[in-house]
């Protein structure tokens, strides 16, 4: 059986490129990205209004083997960016961020949406719109865990409008850190988040790219 594999390559502008090639001896992690796509098709639910429910394996119940495979792929894609810390947003971004961190040997910080009493009075805080909640939410990080000079890799579950990612970027910049990469499990290309991030010149990689969810049908494409 002939297998065609998509291999990502980082372009000079920092954006992901892809090329198809055939190699029966090459076990590239994009084969496991296919597993993510298959899981979305099997267990994901299109709820309308651009919302894709993946609660059974990402957002509520977590499939650890699938997340480990995705984390390993993110680690491969961002191995050369020199990240010193991974940043995500609670709660859905935590699973892919942690598995990526395991494979890169890095700590994870997640932006909280409510300030606990254990957090210091002075914090990094920004607002971002939440599609699923239908309102603005706070993203809060303690200065204890995001220091000046960090090289931050952002990992999240979705890249849609790009507003949550932009919020995380603002938090990193407020701390004096530099964002060196952005990874998303699932990207909804039709919502334009990649175009929002493009002027920043930050490498962006998504493991499953959705071009359409019309008529409750998920259609995948490639970047």
pLDDT in tens, 82-97: 999 999 999 999 999 9
Count of domains for the chain: 1
Q: Is residue 219 part of a domain?
A: yes
Q: What's the token pair of residue 103?
A: 């494979």
pLDDT band at 141 (very low <50, low <70, confident <90, very high): very high
User: Quick check: helix, strand or coil at residue 38?
Assistant: helix
Q: What is the CATH number of the domain that holds 108?
A: 3.40.50.2020
Is pLDDT at 124 greater than 70 in this prediction? yes
Q: Is residue 137 part of a domain?
A: yes
Q: Is residue 181 part of a domain?
A: yes
Query: Among 30-44, 102-116, 160-174, 197-211, where is mean pLDDT lowest?
Result: 30-44
Domain span at residue 118 reads 69-223
* DSSP notation for 154-180: EEEEEESSSHHHHHHHHHHHHTT-EEE
């Amino acid at each position: 059986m002939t297998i065609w594999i998509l291999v990502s390559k980082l372009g000079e502008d920092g954006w992901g490129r892809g090329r198809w090639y055939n190699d029966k001896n090459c076990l590239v992690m994009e084969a496991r990205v296919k597993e993510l796509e298959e899981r979305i098709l099997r267990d994901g639910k299109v709820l309308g209004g651009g919302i894709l429910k993946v609660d059974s394996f990402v957002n509520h119940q977590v499939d650890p083997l699938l997340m480990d495979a995705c984390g390993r792929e993110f680690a491969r894609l961002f191995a050369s960016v020199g990240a010193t810390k991974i940043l995500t947003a609670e709660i859905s971004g935590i699973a892919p961020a942690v598995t990526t961190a395991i494979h890169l040997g890095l700590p994870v910080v997640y932006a909280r949406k409510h300030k606990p009493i254990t957090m210091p009075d002075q914090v990094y805080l920004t607002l971002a719109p939440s599609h699923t909640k239908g309102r603005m939410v706070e993203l809060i990080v303690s200065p204890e865990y995001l220091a000046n000079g960090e090289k931050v890799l952002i990992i999240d579950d979705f890249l849609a409008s790009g507003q949550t990612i932009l919020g995380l970027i603002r938090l990193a910049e407020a701390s004096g850190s530099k964002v060196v990469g952005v990874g998303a499990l699932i990207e909804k290309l039709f919502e334009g988040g990649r175009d929002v991030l493009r002027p920043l010149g930050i490498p962006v990689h998504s493991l499953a790219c959705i071009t359409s969810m019309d008529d409750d049908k998920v259609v995948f494409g490639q970047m």
